[in-house]
Amino acid sequence: MSVLRPLDKQPGLNTATILLVGTEDALLQQLADSMLKEDCASELRVHLARSLPLPSSVDRPRIDLIVFVVNLHSKYSLRNVEESLHYVDATFFLGKAAFLATGAGRESHCSVHRNTIMKLAHTYRSPLFFCDLEIEGFRATMAQRLVRMLQICAGHVPGVSALNLLSLLRSSETLAPEDL
């Protein structure tokens, strides 16, 4: 199956799986390591992928959160992510997908404008995070945030669902794209 669906498999017991999609292998690996270092009561599984669709030969658990990593320094990564978005089911965007833009710190190297990625996130109604994954401190903070989000999306936090979190995150964000 080429299209990822959120609830087509049974959830693993006490397991939460995140899928990081992006072209920057080194950054993804570093982010994965930071996330695994985080203190978390559930078992974390981090999958990395260059682009979708994923090969169906591999037996993988249910994916709870997809993070699309876009490097603002390269247009190729943006195009890669845009093409991968076609292989994700629409129900994923009810809180189980997020965008992460890296490299915004060095404005001179940015070839993708900030507003482009903001429009993309706005179209898909998903939260957008800006984080310089090269800097250790920011990466650790981002990893912490992603771990918390992952726990909520996997259903490990009673009382909060992914959609709930999405509407909570939305209220502070929707102002920015309307100003464009």
Partner 1 sequence: MEMQPREQAATESPDSGGGEGRPPQVAGAQEARPEDRLTLLLRLKAQTKQQLLEYKSMLDASEEKTPEQIMQDKQIEAKIEDLENEIEEVKTAFEIKRLALHRMQLSAALKKNLEKINPQTSVLMDNMKHILKLNKLIMKSQQESWDLEEKLLDVRKKRLQLKQASESKLLEIQTEKNKQKDDLAIMENSDKIKTVQQNLQTEIQVTTVIQHVFQNLILGSKANWAEDSAFKEIVLQLEKNLTMIK
Positions touching partner 1 (CB under 8 A) are 7, 11, 13-14, 32-33, 36, 39-55, 58, 60, 91, 125, 154-159, 161-164, 167, 170-171
Cβ proximity to partner 1: between 48 and 104 the closer is: 48
CB of 110 to partner 1, least distance (A): 25
Q: How far is the CB of 161 from partner 1 (least distance, A)?
A: 6
* Of residues 7 and 106, the one with the C-beta less far from partner 1: 7
- In the complex with partner 1, the residue whose CB is nearer, 55 or 137, is 55
- Of 126, 123, 15, 112, residue with least CA distance to 64: 15
Measure the CA–CA gap between 132 and 172, rounded to whole angstroms: 21
Residue 170: CB partners within 8 Å, gap ≥ 6? 125, 127
Question: Which residues 6+ apart lie within 8 Å of 29 measured at CB?
Answer: 48
Q: What share of the chain is helix, strand, coil (3-state, %, to 5)?
A: 45, 20, 40
Nearest alpha-carbon partner for 40 in 154, 155, 148:
148
Provide φ and ψ at 45, rounded to 5°: -130, 130
DSSP code of residue 13: T
Helices (DSSP H) in 11-135: which residue ranges? 25-37, 75-84, 114-123
Residue 59 vs 107, nearer CB to partner 1: 59
Closest approach, Cβ 66 to partner 1, in A, equals 13
CB of 136 to partner 1, least distance (A): 19
Our CB check for partner 1 shows the closer of 74 and 110 to be 74
Shortest CB 175 distance to partner 1, Å: 14
